[in-house]
């Protein structure tokens, strides 16, 4: 899926969309963890899922502080992200990780855009930290996929 997250005109819309994207990632990680055979991969993806949970808490607190609603779910993004993983699960660990990497490509793109959003000053450090997490997730997946 190609994301448009990060192109929003207002900062509050951006943060709400990032929360949705992270919630979709949490669900996709859950789907992947259920389907992976490797215990090592399951453990690593559980740690990455925790990062996404932290992102939703931090960004949700920002939304609350600015009297904005926090999205309850990942919406359509969640369905697409988890569906990709479920289909890949029919083929094996490599395909599951490849599906998860495409999800991480989207979160990387979204946070790269967020860091550069014209209104991001007050929350830029959070975006940068989250982007660092996303880059670490994708890098791990790329290195493992290359060995499978």
For the chain, percent of residues with pLDDT exceeding 70: 86
Give the tens place of pLDDT for each residue, 11-54: 999 999 999 999 989 999 998 999 999 999 999 999 999 999 99
Closest CA to 124 of 46, 59, 38: 59
Please, what is the average pLDDT of the chain? 89
- Supply the pLDDT for residue 1: 54
Neighbours of 21 (CB within 10 A): 30
Q: Is it the case that residue 128 has pLDDT exceeding 50?
A: yes
User: Going by CATH, does the domain composed of 11-147 fall within 1.10.3470.10?
Assistant: no
- Supply the pLDDT for residue 74: 45
| Distance of alpha carbon 39 from alpha carbon 24, whole angstroms | 23
Enumerate the domain spans of the chain. Answer: 11-147
Q: Are 141 and 101 in contact (CB under 8 A)?
A: yes
Specify the range with the lowest mean pLDDT, choosing from 28-37, 74-83, 96-105, 126-135: 74-83
């Amino acid at each position: 899926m190609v994301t448009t997250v990060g192109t929003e005109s207002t900062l509050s819309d951006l943060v709400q969309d990032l929360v949705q994207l992270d919630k979709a990632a949490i669900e996709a990680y859950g789907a992947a963890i259920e389907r992976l055979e490797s215990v090592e991969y399951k453990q690593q993806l559980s740690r990455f899922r925790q990062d996404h949970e932290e992102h939703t808490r931090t960004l949700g607190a920002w939304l609350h502080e600015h009297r904005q609603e926090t999205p309850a779910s990942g919406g359509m993004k969640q369905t697409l992200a988890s569906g990709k993983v479920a289909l890949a699960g029919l083929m094996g660990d490599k395909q599951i990780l490849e599906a998860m990497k495409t999800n991480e490509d989207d979160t990387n793109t979204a946070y790269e855009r967020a860091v550069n959003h014209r209104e991001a000053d007050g929350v830029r450090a959070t975006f940068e930290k989250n982007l660092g997490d996303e880059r670490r997730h994708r890098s791990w997946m790329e290195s493992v996929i290359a060995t499978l």
